[in-house]
Structure 1
Amino acid sequence: MSSIAASAAPAALLAEWLRGRDDAEITALLDARRDVATPVPAGFPVLASRLLSPSSLGRVSEHLTLLDLAVLELVLAESGIDLDALARRLRGRALKKQVAASAGKLVGLALIRGEQELHTAPAVREAVPWRTAQLIAPPDLADIDAALAVAGEDERALLDRLAEGSPLGRTAAAGPGTSTEHPVQRMLASGLLARVDHQTVELPWEVRARLRGELPLGASLKPPVLDGPPVPGVDGAGAVAALELLRHADDVLGVLGAVPAQRVKAGGIGIRELRRVAKAAGLPEERAALLLELLAAAALIAEGELDGEEDSVFAPTVAVDEWQRSEPADRWALLARTWLDLRRQPALIGTRGEEGIVGPLHRAARSTVAPQDRAAVLDALALAPEGTAPATADLHAATRYAHPSWYRRLTLQAIADIVEQAQVVGLVAGGALTAAGRAARTTDPAQAMAAALPKPVEEFLLQADLTLTIPGPTTHDFAASVALVADLESAGGAAVYRVTDASVRRALDAGRTSAEVHAFFAAHAVTPVPQGLTYLVDDVARRHGALRAGVAGSFLRSDDPALVAAVLASPAAEALALRAVAPTVLIAQVTLSDLVAGLAAAGFNAAAEDSRGVVVDLRPSAVRLPPPRSRPPAARPTLEQLADAAVQIRRQDAPSDDGAGVSGRELMELLQSAAGDGRSVRLGYVDANGVFTRHVVVPESVRHGQLTAVDGDSPRRFALHRVTTAEYAE
């Protein structure tokens, strides 16, 4: 590395070191720390300043392991330390090759610099998630336990408060001159607290772990080895969970399609509406809340206003129908990817927040870091042998090692909540990661889940007690057809339905004829159709339609004058404003659907018909809303673009030897000359997202700060202040 005066500013030292790195190393740095890459830095001093900014250091700290932080603490404490000395200081807690790999990683991230002697800038301490050095020396757990055992009531209260919230506390008692008998001074002396400055103390990592009942970790800086009991049939159990998820999602969509959920003033869905949806769908409230969050994030339900309604509601979108017709694995994959990317915390629903009890889709459950937390837990699960279920405490230790900067939020309870939700989704079964769960971290999990799911069936077993059993998963359309003629009694791997008088009438009311009902049972039953079922369908069909309702306001007719007279004499006649116009015909002032419903409430079952006398289906259509508009994800620079940016940084750092870099006046003269001569020009250009690109164009005009040129086959405008280089292409 070039020799630089020791008095140089830290950013200047880093900039000089960066100049000595080749373009491939700078490209790798920009790829690892993408927040500093856009817009393209105008030289290495600008890049060094960005690398040392608190915001960038805070982001890069999320990618540092416990060993990385220990190495970084040692370099911060002992500038100029070499690799052998690092390995000696961490002997017994990490292998030398692990220390060397960690140091290489930190060099690649520009957090430390050097080949033999390692240096860093004081500002890099911002990448350490605590204020005092905590990993340089191994913790003495026996001393911590002994100090906690003799701590007084006031001392324990202070320690517990710091363990549950921020580990930093401000107190004048931390300064010099305070009596050694003061509780704060006693805890500083015993190691239960660490002094940051004269007014600030910090709760050390291992003390916090002891207070919260968590496993100690700082004694070893080696990656934890995860193991656990084997879980037989983990992929099959995950497939069952996936099918349950889809069935429950359909149930919730059906409930909202019939009666949308009202939006509360604070935003989202209220607890009362959540309970209604859960009860109607036959689900626990926690499961219904998770499904509402997933369906909304997947744009399968949305907020909108219905015709004639003033208040906003949450209802299914038009995307639901196509999604329900898709293959089960594809349907599940949408919900699984949605859960992984969900920027919300469903576990907070039902808890009390600042604005009251948190409901589904309420802003209090928002969390920009939730996807990172889920990824961290699934990555930890993937470290265990396939088909094994590590304990939650071991998962906690693994996530703390991989992401120590998240130690305050990745608690035992938070990890348990994530694993529980992953089991509901089907990524985890019995505490073990499924094949689909492993695939979800890198590729599309639909293929892995398709291999685990049993093939859909469109058949059932009919029993003499009029129950029918579907022996496995089925398609959405077939399930809807079965639900039309039978009532669900129990769901699961083999759903059980029962055919009743009411269910057969429901099918006839929907326009099915008795012949079509008989044909449906005969076509899909793998067992003989019971005689009792045949009699039931014929009996209901014989009585069905004895009364015929049609449109006038509405009318009621029957071939049986006695039946019409009985209706006219019933209390429903007055409520429905029925009037006889013939011995077999009554008319009413209510709508056809209200007439049929009112008669049914009075014990008369009327079949609705159209003007041709054909039975019509009066069931209301499910509510549908347009899907919400989604913002496209921000474009990420490609490796090729980052490589171009590395070249551009070096070019802007020093005068160019090839004359490509030009001043503003030279740029104008070159472009105007090229426009007059029709010559091609090679441009370096930084777009509005800060991404550097190259173009070969034929300038047409230069005016008002804009270059109009032919780029390929089409005209395009370039802002002159974004042009970084220009030269003739010939």
Structure 2
Amino acid sequence: MKSATALKSWLAGRTREQLAELLEQRELPQAAAYGRDGLATLGQLADHLLTASSVSRALRDVSLGDLQVLVAVAQLAERVHGPLPTGGTAEPGQFGYPARAEQDPAERAVPREQLLDWLADGPEQRAAAEDALERLTTRALVLPAHAAKVSVPMLFHQQAAELQGLGGPVDSLLSAAFNAAEIHRISDGLGLPKARTRDVAKRQITALLSDPQQVREVAAGAPGEARELLDKLVAGPARLRTRCFTTQYGYYSGPNSKFLFRPGGSGDPGTDWLAARGLVVPVGTDLAELPYEVGRALRDDDARPAFQPAPPPVTSLVPLPRTAAGEAHSAAASAASRVELLLRTTAAQPLAVRKAGGIAVRDTKRLAKAISAPEQQTRLWLDLAANADLIAPHRDEPSPARGRNRRPGPPPPARMLPTDRYDDWLAASPADRLLPLLATWAIIPEVFSYWPDADETPVALISPQDPVAVPLRHALLAALAQLPPRHGPAPDSGGTPTPKAVAELLACAEWFQPAIAGLGQDAVARALATLDEAGLLGVVAHGALTPVGHAVLALLNAGAARHFPAIPGAGPDLTKHPQLAAAVQALAETLSQLLPPPQTTARFQADLTVTVTGAASPELTELLSAVADRESEGHAVVWRISPATLRRAFDNGLAADDLLERLAAVSEGGATLPQPLEYTINDTARTHGRMRVVRSACCIRSDDETLITELSKARTLAKLALRKIAPTVLISTAAPDTTLATLRTAGYAPVLEAETGTTIIERAPDERAASTMPSLAQARHHHGPGPQTAPALAAKLLATR
């Protein structure tokens, strides 16, 4: 039976939930909505699942152990069926899909028992291999049915050499890399007879390196440093950085450039010895590759294929201190509190957005000072809040056209404002405030604390576009989940994991996400920045995963990152995604257990300070923000009341009696307010409003004639051009709002009065930006017609059975 036919029958037996999960793994329907009717039948889906592009997408979430099983199938197929035939033509695929290879995967199936015997060493490994086969079958990477024989998509057979860590064919490498002079030089290095032409010399080299016995004889004569390097390349990967070669024009000039041997050599005798005999061939600037034939000849044919069913252990561990749980709680509470304060500050004074993008450094510094946090943390909170749809850029309407040409004025600069979701977020508990921030951090494709360019000034609100960030974060959390209970990576004197602990942790992480193995030296800096961010959010404590961290890992395992920029847990409806909804609910419950309910009372002291132990409720925060300034953060938040803050409250319409009553109602234990606080409130209230700004004619009036005389002679008020028209009345040439602002800047406490004589309560309108969070169906670009969600597409396809 053809592979596509067998796969179609297998798909027809899937439940709606199982098929929807498979579609999500393959990033469908977004990737398959081609043609007039889109993806309409299970047969079309089966064809698509066998394409190289679809298989490549599925491999993004496959562990190293499972990948090794797939490679072993292709490797065994070479032994059983011989190398994959090359050449031939194939008809174009339907609906724009790439055409499949002429050979059907079923024709290269291998006996299941032979695969298990070859792959597994002992009953434990055999059981692990069988589990891997079943797991890969649910992902349609091992093709049905594999009861007696196992087959995999053609991509694994076509890339079998690369997946085994082997290089390209020697003939192709030589043709692409060298002109005649270099070919003849390699021929001389191998001791071959003098050839008349380049092609003859190349054929002689290819024939020698294609003979395993002759390759082994050449390798046996290699000096020690060359042999050591050769052993590493044979084990794979088959590439190395080297300065043996240079391009023929002295610089990189394109894909068709030829290479020359660098005059004087590379400085590494071992590499130069290999290059002189064609055992490494240039494939790019400062990059060389070991040919396939050489790697295959020097490998042990009787050795079992690589199979590592479990991640490597992390051995550089220390027991966690008893304070670890408390530190996780403190970090989570501090994160929720600081983001709240940051957003309140942003609501009061919106941030300017630079023309080049991001937030100006001076605004970041101001925010950092306001929330008592380092600038790096402030940038992190801003970026998380923006991607969680709590703040967004807003541009005011341009000024109307004016002048003879009726040209509109220049567009005003964009400002960062709280979104429509901010007010509901502010009224939520600390646990519910932290939830969207954690969900955003989990799936955002960026490590915001990692800024590799030391010469570039970091800015907040950059566009997240790092494709490795989420796989690295996911893999690190998965690696930490493997550590023994109550143990974390060994730290150095500064509390950072030691180099050995980081290396072991990354090796474990690479097992879960093989794609991050190519990061090289960059991986350490990225990993440490990721762990630092996790510590700030309570995801890890002392390098070990907390209960919150386990819940975040479960959210990633549920596939939350597939939906970015929609963020499950930060607003989108999850009704049609039960697995995601369950993961978000579990994270919410874990946060509720970690962060206690907010405090509704405060302790008032005689020095006019107010202390709130723990997180304050939104109502208490609103009241204290109106009458006091926040002084310090931590386990307890301290506020300070002063005449200036009380005048601010009275300006907003609060009366002294009402304020005393409201403060007494939130006093801890029902205690009475300290006398100094009552005296300060009453004294400030008596002096507040002694002068009044009349709105209709912008007059200033006061029953205190001495005060009116003082105002008329004050130099700081000269720009108002005040004129005394009565013992108790002044007039101003400035508008009422300007007059009010100038008087308050000079230290006076005026209020605004209407024409009827009533006091007007000044309240600036709350500005809000429109929400930008898309739904899960709208999050990713959808080409063509058809359902926009995997569950809807699964239902449509199953209806065609």
**TM-score, L = length of structure 2:** 0.65
Deviations 1:554-580 (A, max 9, x none): 221221211111110111342112111
Question: Are residues 534 and 270 of structure 1, via their aligned partners in 2, closer, same or farther at CA, if it must alter by over 3 Å?
Answer: closer
Equivalence for 1:604: 748
Alpha carbons 1:129, 1:405 under 8 Å: kept: no
Separation in 2, partners of 1:169, 1:428: 49
CA 340–507 in structure 1, closer or farther in 2 if over 3 Å, else same: same
Task: Output the CA distance in 2 between the equivalents of 1:240 and 1:145.
Answer: 55
1:401 deviates by 0.7
CA displacement at 1:35 relative to structure 2: 5.0
2:354 to 264, 267, 270: 264
What's the counterpart of residue 207 of structure 1? none
User: CA offset at residue 406 of structure 1?
Assistant: 2.8
Q: Is structure 2 residue 523 aligned with structure 1 residue 411?
A: yes
* Corresponding position of 1:320: 422
CA 1:543/1:157 → structure 2, altered by over 3 Å: closer, same or farther? farther
Alignment partner of 1:586: what SS?
strand
| Cα distance in 2 between the residues matched to 1:588 and 1:472 | 48
CA deviation map 1:111-168 (0-9, x unaligned): 4565555555653157779555379xxxxxxx999947999xxx97659xxxxxxxx9
Give the whole-Å Cα distance in 1 for the aligned partners of 2:732 and 2:703.
18
C-alpha distance in 2, partners of 1:487/1:48? 64
* Pair 1:399-2:509 in alignment: yes
Closer/same/farther in 2, CA of residues 241 and 550 from structure 1, 3 Å limit = farther
Displacement, 1:404?
0.9
Q: Which residue of 2 aligns with 1:291?
A: 381
Q: Which residue in the other structure is 1:100 paired with?
A: 130
State the alpha-carbon separation in 2 of the partners of residues 198 and 269 from structure 1.
38
User: Is the 1:550–1:556 contact (alpha carbons within 8 Å) kept by the matching residues of 2?
Assistant: yes
Check the 8 A contact 2:417/2:768 in 1, yes or no.
Answer: yes
Q: Relative to structure 1, is the Cα distance of residues 18 and 186 closer, same or farther in structure 2, using a 3 angstrom cutoff?
A: farther
Give the AA of the match of 1:438.
Answer: H
SS of the residue corresponding to residue 790 of structure 2 reads coil
Q: Distance in 2 between matches of 1:318 and 1:30?
A: 32
Contact conserved, 1:169 with 1:201, CA < 8 A, in 2?
no
Give the C-alpha shift of residue 435 in structure 1: 2.3
Q: Select between 484-493 and 581-590 the one with higher mean Cα deviation.
A: 484-493
Match of 1:124 in 2: 156
Alignment map for 1:417-436 (pairs within 5 Å): 417-436=529-548
Contact 1:169 1:202 in 2 (8 A): no
In the superposition, relative to structure 1, how do residues 611 and 456 fare at CA in structure 2: closer, same or farther (>3 Å)?
Answer: farther
Question: 1:495 deviation in Å?
Answer: 0.8
* Matches for 1:9-24 after TM superposition, within 5 Å: 14-15=3-4, 18=7, 23-24=12-13
Give the conservation status (yes or no) of the 8 Å contact 1:144–1:192. Answer: no
The 8 Å contact of residues 484 and 503 in structure 1, kept in 2 or not, is answered as yes
C-alpha contact (below 8 Å) 2:475/2:510 kept by paired residues: no
Displacement, 1:497? Answer: 1.7
Distance in structure 1 (CA, Å) of the matches to 2:689 and 2:384: 43
Note the C-alpha offset of 1:20: 8.2
2:655 to 484, 500, 513: 513
CA deviation after TM superposition for structure 1 residue 490, in Å: 0.9
Aligned pairs (5 A) from 1:405-554 = 405-409=515-519, 411-440=523-552, 441=555, 442-444=583-585, 445-526=587-668, 527-554=671-698
Does the CA-based 8 Å contact 1:230-1:389 persist in structure 2? yes
After superposition, the Cα gap between the structure-2 partners of 1:15 and 1:255, relative to the gap in structure 1 and judged at 3 Å, is same
1:183–1:259: structure 2 CA closer, same or farther, 3 Å change rule? Answer: farther
| Residue range with higher mean Cα deviation, 30-39 or 74-83 | 30-39
User: Would you say the 8 A contact 1:260–1:313 is kept in 2?
Assistant: yes
Report Cα offsets for 1:581-608 as digits up to 9, x if no partner: 2111111122333223212333433334
Matched, 1:224 2:319: no
* Counterpart residue number, 1:201: 288
Partners of 1:76 and 1:63 lie apart in 2 by 20
Per the alignment, residue 334 of structure 2 pairs with: 244
8 Å contact kept, 2:392–2:418? yes
| Residue identity opposite 1:403 in structure 2 | Q
Q: Which amino acid aligns with 1:362?
A: I
Matched, 1:53 2:163: no
Distance in 1, Cα, partners of 2:21 & 2:687: 75
CA gap 1:95/1:196 in 2 versus in 1, 3 angstroms: farther
Unaligned runs of 5+ in 2: 33-37, 81-109, 168-223, 233-239, 245-254, 292-305, 400-410, 490-500, 556-582, 779-787
Question: Aligned equivalents of 1:473 and 1:522: distance in 2?
Answer: 19
Partner SS, residue 495 of structure 1: strand
Question: Hey, what does 2:441 align to over in structure 1?
Answer: 339
- Residue aligning to 2:574: none
Q: For the structure 1 residues 322 and 552, does the alpha-carbon distance in structure 2 shift closer, same or farther, using more than 3 Å as the test?
A: same
d(CA) in 1 for partners of 2:506, 2:126? 25
**Inter-partner Cα distance in structure 2 for 1:270 and 1:618:** 30
CA distance in 2, matches of 1:504, 1:19: 74
**2-structure distance, mates of 1:127, 1:395:** 29
CA pair 396-180 structure 1, distance change in 2 beyond 3 A: closer
* Percent sequence identity over aligned pairs: 27
Q: Which residue of 2 aligns with 1:564?
A: 708
Going from structure 1 to structure 2, the CA distance change for 1:534 and 1:199 (only over 3 Å counts) comes to closer
**Equivalent position SS for 1:347:** coil
**Distance change in 2, residues 1:101/1:301 (3 Å):** same
The SS at the match of 1:411 is: helix
The 3 A distance-change label for structure 1 pair 196 and 96 is: farther
Tell me the distance in 2 between the aligned counterparts of 1:592 and 1:386: 66
Aligned equivalents of 2:633, 2:621: Cα separation in 1 = 12
2:443 partner letter: D
CA RMSD between the two structures: 4.5
Q: How many residues align?
A: 600
The aligned residue for residue 406 of structure 2 is: none
Change (3 A) 1:259 1:485: closer
Summarize the Cα distance change of 1:383–1:320 in structure 2 as closer, same or farther, 3 Å threshold. Answer: same
Does the CA contact (< 8 Å) of 1:555 and 1:585 recur in 2? yes
Aligned residues of 1:235 and 1:452 also touching (Cα < 8 A): no
SS state at 1:624 partner: coil
- State whether residues 71 and 102 of structure 1, in contact with CA within 8 Å, keep that contact through their aligned partners in structure 2: yes
Contact 2:647 2:684 in 1 (8 A): yes
Q: CA separation in 1, counterparts of 2:708 and 2:11?
A: 95
Structure 1 equivalent of residue 483 of structure 2: 384
Q: For the residues of structure 1 that align with 2:340 and 2:394, how far apart are their CA atoms?
A: 20
User: Which stretch of the first structure deviates more once superposed, 18-27 or 620-629?
Assistant: 18-27
Distance in 2 (CA, whole Å) between partners of 1:620 and 1:145 is: 76
Counterpart selection for 1:591 from 735, 739, 759: 735
Q: Which moved more, 1:180-189 or 1:108-117?
A: 180-189
Question: Judging changes above 3 Å, is the alpha-carbon distance between structure 1 residues 96 and 119 closer, same or farther for their aligned structure 2 residues?
Answer: same
Structure 2 contact 599–615 (Cα < 8 Å) conserved: yes
- 3-state SS in 2 of match to 1:383: coil
Residues of 2 paired with 1:430 and 1:384: CA distance?
Answer: 13
Aligned-partner Cα distance in 2 for 1:115–1:693: 25
Q: Which residue of 2 aligns with 1:677?
A: none
2:76 and 2:115 in contact (8 A); partners too: no
Secondary structure at the counterpart of residue 407 of structure 1 = helix
Q: Deviations over 1:632-665 (max 9, x none)?
A: 4264434x975x7xxxxxxxxxxxxxxxxxxxxx
Offset at residue 264 of structure 1 (A)? 2.4
Q: After TM superposition, give the deviation of residue 310 of structure 1 in Å.
A: 1.9
TM-score (ref. length: structure 1): 0.70
Q: Quick one: distance in 2 between partners of 1:105 and 1:359?
A: 43
User: Which residue identity is paired with 1:201?
Assistant: A
Q: Partner of 1:362: helix, strand, or coil?
A: coil
**Aligned partner of residue 566 in structure 1, secondary structure:** helix
